[in-house]
Amino acid sequence: DTAVSQTPKYLVTQMGNDKSIKCEQNLGHDTMYWYKQDSKKFLKIMFSYNNKELIINETVPNRFSPKSPDKAHLNLHINSLELGDSAVYFCASSQVRNSGNTIYFGEGSWLTVV
């Protein structure tokens, strides 16, 4: 079973549309994240949720709204899509342990806005 799974893997949509990307983790982790990787390949944190509560929101336009129905899911909803939103979006999860925690990533969702 895939530890962190996200759907859809590929999404092509028109400007102005609203779309969602879903993410689920079966690792029992209590923290989940969304990262964005743009065309320059720079991987940047967008949001972080711990036990369904938002703990990090990194200067992301309010068109992006994460939703965490439970600690195993963190979905990303994007309103009024713009050309600049085209990127790869990665979901991830982690769990704090005494020996340091590690973060596990999904395989990414390729979003293309035309």
Residue 102 binds other proteins, judged by CB under 8 A: yes
The token pair that represents 70 in the structure block: 């439970």
Work out whether strand 31-37 and strand 87-94 pair parallel, antiparallel, or are unpaired: antiparallel
Binding residue for other proteins, selected from 7, 13, 86, 101, defined by CB under 8 A = 101
66 binds other proteins, rule: CB under 8 A: no
| Rg value, the chain, Cα | 14
Q: Which among 18-26, 53-61, 63-71, 74-82 is the span making contact with other proteins, rule CB under 8 A?
A: 53-61
Residue 25 in contact with other proteins, rule: CB under 8 A: no
59 binds other proteins (CB under 8 A): no
- To the nearest 10°, report the CA torsion of 101, 102, 108, 113: 50
Return d(Cα 60, Cα 76) in angstroms, integer: 12
Distance CA 33, CA 97 (A): 17
Q: Of the candidates 19, 56, 60, 73, which one interacts with other proteins according to CB under 8 A? A: 56
Q: Give residues in contact with other proteins (CB under 8 A).
A: 4, 30-31, 33, 35, 41-45, 48, 50, 55-56, 58, 90, 92, 94, 96-97, 99-108
